[in-house]
Amino acid sequence: MPHMTFFFLSLVLFLAVGNALSQWIDYPDNGLATMTHYTLPSGYVASCGCTPASTDYPTAALSQMAYGSSTNYGPACGRCFNLTLLNPVIATPPFFPSVVKSIVVKVTDLCPLSETGWCSGTTTMPNSAGAYLNFDLAYPSKAIPDDFFPSDEALYGYTDFGVWNITYQSVPCLDSWAGSNNAAALGSVKALESSACCPADPTPGNASNICPSYSEKNGIPPDTSTSDSRCRMDVLIPALNLTLLAGLLLLLI
C-alpha cells in the first residue's frame, strides 16, 4: 500500500516540523481585525461543513491561523462574532463613515494562509493593515443589505473599499445570530460525518462543543504556499471521502 507508506512518512515529517508550524493564534474575545468580502454561492457547503441553509444568514471565513486548521474544520467553526466597521484600510483621502455598522456572523469557512494578503496573519506577523485576524464576509448575500458597506461614490468614484478595519466581539450564537432560530441553518451536513464540524452554539473554553483542529488531528501541516489565490475546492476535497462527496453533490443538484 504505497498510500499508507506515504501517510506514515508524512506523519513523521509532521511530527518533526509540525509543532513549529501550527502556532495557532490565541486571540482575545474582543479586539481589532480587518474585514474583506468574498463570493460564497448560496447553499454552498464551505470548509466547516455547516449546512447549506447557513448561507441564508450572515457568515464569514476566518484567517487560517486564527481559524485553527489548514483544512476542513477548526476551533473557530460555528463561532459567532459581532463585527463593527471602523474605516476602510485603503482610501485617499481617509474615509470615516457617519454611521456605525455592525453585523453578527457565524464562522463557516477557512480563509487560507498566504504570505501576503489579508489572511496572512500569524502569531508573529500581522497582515499589512496591522491586524492578526481577518474576517472574510460572504457578501453580496441575500442575508445582508446591498448598502451594508458605507461609501461616498461622489467623492471616490466607487462604492467598494474592499478592506475595512473592524472591531470584533465574540458573542453567543443563540439570539445574536440571525440564523439561530432556524434548525436547518444549524449544525453540519450529516453525510460528511466526521469531516465536518459546525456547533450550533459553541462556547469558547468548553472542549465538548468547540471543534478540534482537523489538520492537527490528521497530521496535516498548515499550507504555507505563497499564492494568494483562493481555491476553495482544493481546500475542501482532499480530506473528504470522495464517495460521500459524490453523494452530497447528487443531493445538492
Stretch 157-196 residues interacting with ligand NAG (CB under 6 A): 165, 171, 176
- How far apart CA 149 and CA 133 sit, in angstroms, is 19
Which string of x and - marks every residue 46-65 that binds ligand NAG (by CB under 6 A)?
--------------------
Mark residues 18-47: x for contact with ligand NAG by CB under 6 A, - for none. Answer: --------------x---------------
Q: Where are the beta strands (DSSP E) in 113-181?
A: 134-138, 164-171
- Residue 193 CB, shortest distance to ligand NAG, in Å, is 8
- The long-range contacts involving 191-195, CB below 8 angstroms and separated by at least 24 positions, are 191/244, 191/247, 191/248, 191/251, 192/45, 192/49, 192/240, 192/244, 192/248, 193/241, 193/244, 195/49, 195/72, 195/73, 195/239, 195/240, 195/241, 195/244
Per CB under 6 A, the segment of 43-51, 111-119, 148-156, 206-214 that binds ligand NAG is 206-214
Contacting residue, 89, 105, 119, 189, with ligand NAG by CB under 6 A: 89
Q: How far, rounded to the nearest angstrom, does the alpha carbon of residue 125 sit from its chain's CA centroid?
A: 19
Q: Does 241 interact with ligand NAG (rule: CB under 6 A)?
A: yes
End-to-end CA distance of the chain: 35
Query: How many residues lie near ligand NAG (CB under 6 A)?
Result: 20
Note the residues at the interface with ligand NAG (CB under 6 A).
32, 82, 84, 86-87, 89, 102, 104, 129-130, 165, 171, 176, 203, 206, 208-209, 241, 243-244
